[in-house]
Chains A and B, each alone.
Chain A
Amino acid sequence: MAQIRKDKERETPALATSSLPDIIFMFLFFFMSVTTMKEVTFKVRVSPPMATEVQKLENKSLTRYVYVGKPMAQYTKAFGSETRIQLGDAFADVNELQEFIVSERSAMNENDQNLMTVSIKADKDTKMGIINDIKQSLRKAYALKIVYSANKRMTP
């Protein structure tokens, strides 16, 4: 006969934690794969305009960003408080834009060059004058696919 009740004082077994690292690793890999590190440090303050009919950007690797806004507080001494353009990591002037686009495009794969998109990330209080200048130099650089960056707004 098997002894059924031998131990009087039975302890609840400790929670098996051996699979915990696996679970955590699973999470870890998930977040590692969806993470996109911030490409640039913002030197201008950009709060994008709102719109209802926004589309998702299809291909991030083919997108180049042009940031437009007022310089952050720590740069106002050197660069003033007027609206400025940021290309990559540095402040730039409108006439540098064309060169920037051309060099970015030539760095791309030949098949992708036609698909390059320029996303204009401008602050919502920007004046259209500077946006027009940007658009004109993008035309000159033959970067015709553009996106006006905007956030989704629910109420119309």
Chain B
Amino acid sequence: MGKKRKTSEINSSSMADIAFLLLIFFLVTTSMSTSTGLARRLPPPLPPDMKVPPTDVNKRNIFVVKVNSQNQLMVQGELMEVRDLRQKAKEFIKNENNDPNLPVKSEVNIPLIGLMSITKDHVISLQNDVDTQYQAYINVQNELVAAYNELRNELAREKFGMAYEDLDEDQQKAVQAVYPQKISEAEPKNYGGVKK
């Protein structure tokens, strides 16, 4: 019995099984879905003793979108379907033919693009009722964002020959300067439905 005994190697055949087990655990718990959404910026709060300041924006500069409790849309005083909103908003923001009923255009010198006449004072005012469904509200927000995105894309293709997403940072800033996103979410009011 004087033989030198070798320590037998650790049996590693179960290693794969253990690793598999862990793998399956992580597979199950993984949630790859990245959260997505519509990013917005809220206006800073008003001082408590102040009333809502009267809007001195010229009337032709405001694009009023109201959503009532039945999820119906009123755009600039007329009933409208959500799918028509994008086109209407684009016309408003762009004001291609310098229509006196659409926002005032002013000449602005923008780096990388040059002199552009833009509707820099336009505001899209989005008002909703307390009973408006969230999905309807998001639909409207979505269409408005889509209108801006389409306009920006058109301009990017025209000036730089690329989609807006493919531009570098300075170019994107320039395009943003031409079409600044101005969606104002007004203080809540009651439109239609039961008055409180």
Contacts and interface: CB of A to CB of B under 8 A. Distances in A.
B70 to A, nearest CB: 12
Contacts of A53: 38, 142, 145-146, 149
B57 interface: no
Contacts of A28: 19, 22-23, 26
Nearest to B13: A17
**Interface size bracket, B side:** 35 or more
Nearest to B188: A132
Interface in A106-156: 117, 119, 122-129, 131-132, 135-136, 138-140, 142-152, 156
B98 interface: no
A50 B29 CA distance: 25
A25 interface: yes
Contacts of A88: none
Nearest to B196: A129
Contacts of B12: 21
Contacts of A50: 135, 138
B56 to A, nearest CB: 22
A132 B16 CA distance: 54
Interface in A60-82: 60, 63
Interface string A25-47: 10110011011111000000000
B16 A49 contact: no
A51 interface: yes
Contacts of B149: 53
A149 B13 CA distance: 47
A144 B188 CA distance: 17
A128 B45 contact: no
B142 A145 contact: no
B50 to A, nearest CB: 13
A31 B36 contact: no
B132 interface: yes
Contact of A139 (B42, B134, B141): B42
A152 B19 CA distance: 35
A2 interface: no
Interface string A95-107: 0000000000000
A57 interface: yes
A140 B112 CA distance: 38
Given A24-B16, A31-B30, A55 B134 contact: no
Given A50-B135, A55-B37, A125-B134, 13 more contacts: A17-B16, A24-B23, A35-B29, A35-B30, A35-B31, A52-B146, A53-B142, A53-B146, A54-B38, A55-B36, A126-B134, A132-B130, A146-B42
Interface of B: 12-13, 15-16, 19-20, 22-23, 26-27, 29-32, 34-45, 67, 83, 128-135, 137-139, 141-142, 145-146, 149, 185, 188
